[in-house]
Amino acid sequence: MDIRKIVLLTVLFFVIKPLSAQEGITARQFFTYEKFLASDQLEGRFPGTDGNNKAAAYIKKQFKKSNLKPLNGSYFQQFKLSIKPNVNSIQSDTVETNNVIGYLEGSDPILKSEFIVIGAHYDHLGWGGKGTGSKKKDTFAIHNGADDNASGFSALLTIAKEMGKRKSTFKRSIVFVSFSGEEEGLEGSKYFTEHFPVADSSVKLMINMDMVGRLNAEKQIYMGGAGTFPGGEVLMKKLGVGSGLSPVVNAGSIGGSDHVSFYKKNISVIGLHTGGNPQYHTPEDDIELINKEGAALVCKYIYNTLLQIANYEQPLYFIKQD
Ligand SMILES: [Zn+2]
């Protein structure tokens, strides 16, 4: 091993090691959340249905348990959503649904007024109400969306639980949000970015997780947007060292999930996923195909990302990508 490597590894040890407690980030914890959200009893979590409301209530309960506080007095941010005719038994063309929001205050007297948002949508297609971008024919069956996006939701709750134990040992404040209406065209995140519960300019970066439950044999975690903040590409590669993952880091390639709503508002973003699959938007996107051990590695990687960014030494600002 050459001297540069030794220096790099020593630096990484002291920089990253003290920050990564993460004992509670386990495949078991992840799977507890996953089993709830991907179960038939929620009937695919289509906005405006009981299953969707039950999921929102569950998120609120878990946020509270993990010491997250409500912003502006409520964990719920309700919004109206227009829906196209679909196979879910909804008569009206407008429904009410909720984004669920919780936050942890940062410890630095100045930097705590800056916010890092981490999010994952919890809604899905119900009994088959075709989401945007789906070329598949509707099939009348429960679409559990185990990967899309019970996996991102479970990662969000797992990370929130671990972060909630740290009692503000991070400088910037962190907002955790689970969006509804993603499958109808990123509606929940659009509403959120148009009605920020904090000052617009205080939102410095958004981390999104959509489909993170199917880590492949090459252990690839894909991401877009790493070039939208200073030092982002270097950081995201560096955090891959010793993580058990092979990060595929794109500076741009912003992609098509909720972080796009933030990017459009000139906010730095990182959008993470473990890749597409043939079961996407079909009733076969089920829990048996989830790689829970892989998901735990992904959770740890994202948890470390969040901590690094909440404590980032350099000022965070937006860098546009093509
Ligand atoms: Zn999704």
Residue 191 CA to ligand 1 centre (angstroms): 17
Residue in 128, 254, 241, 108 with CA at minimum distance from that of residue 186: 254
Residue 156 CA to ligand 1 centre (angstroms): 14
Which residue shows structure tokens 């906005």?
Answer: 47
Q: Is the pLDDT of residue 98 over 70?
A: yes
Q: How far is CA 113 from CA 100, 105, 226, 293, in A?
A: 21, 9, 23, 35
Q: Is the pLDDT of residue 133 over 60?
A: no
Quick check: 75 and 102 in contact, CB under 8 A?
yes
Residue 52 CA to ligand 1 centre (angstroms): 15
The per-residue pLDDT for 22 is 76
The per-residue pLDDT for 86 is 67
Residue 8 CA to ligand 1 centre (angstroms): 37
Which residue shows structure tokens 């958004």?
Answer: 206
The per-residue pLDDT for 61 is 98
Q: How far is CA 163 from the centre of its chain?
A: 14
* Residue 175, φ and ψ in degrees, nearest 5: -110, 125
Residue in 184, 64, 71, 54 with CA at minimum distance from that of residue 117: 71
DSSP for 64-117? HHTTPBPBTTBSEEEEEEE--S-SSS--SSEEEEEEEEEEE--SSTTGGGSEEE
Which token pair is 100? Answer: 């669920």
pLDDT tier at 42 (50, 70, 90 boundaries)? Answer: very high
Instruction: Give the mean pLDDT of 97-123.
Output: 97
Q: Is the pLDDT of residue 113 over 60?
A: yes
pLDDT tens digits for range 59-71: 999 999 999 999 9
Average pLDDT of every residue of the chain: 91
**Cα distance from N-terminal residue to C-terminal residue, the chain:** 38
Residue 190 CA to ligand 1 centre (angstroms): 15
Residue 85 CA to ligand 1 centre (angstroms): 20
Residue 65 CA to ligand 1 centre (angstroms): 26
Is 136 or 169 the better-scoring residue by pLDDT? Answer: 169
One-letter amino acid of 15: V
pLDDT tens digits for range 249-303: 999 999 889 999 999 999 999 999 999 999 999 999 999 999 999 999 999 999 9
Handedness of CA 196, 200, 203, 204 (dihedral sign): positive
Residue 130 CA to ligand 1 centre (angstroms): 12
Rg of the chain, C-alpha, whole Å: 19
Q: Is the pLDDT of residue 16 over 80?
A: no
Residues paired with residue 79 on neighbouring β-strands, in sequence order: 97
Q: Is the pLDDT of residue 77 over 50?
A: yes
Residue 264 CA to ligand 1 centre (angstroms): 18
The per-residue pLDDT for 167 is 78
Quick check: 110 and 222 in contact, CB under 8 A?
no
Is 5 or 286 the better-scoring residue by pLDDT? Answer: 286
Residue 134 CA to ligand 1 centre (angstroms): 11
Quick check: 48 and 81 in contact, CB under 8 A?
yes
Residue 315 CA to ligand 1 centre (angstroms): 31
Residue 182 CA to ligand 1 centre (angstroms): 7
- Chain length of the chain: 322
Q: Is the pLDDT of residue 312 over 60?
A: yes
The per-residue pLDDT for 276 is 95
Residue 147 CA to ligand 1 centre (angstroms): 8
Report the percent of the chain where pLDDT is more than 70: 89
Residue 295 CA to ligand 1 centre (angstroms): 16
The per-residue pLDDT for 111 is 97
Q: How far is CA 4 from CA 7, 15, 142, in A?
A: 5, 16, 54
The per-residue pLDDT for 18 is 46
pLDDT tens digits for range 224-258: 999 999 999 999 999 999 999 999 999 999 988 99
The whole-angstrom separation of Cα 7 and Cα 148 is 41
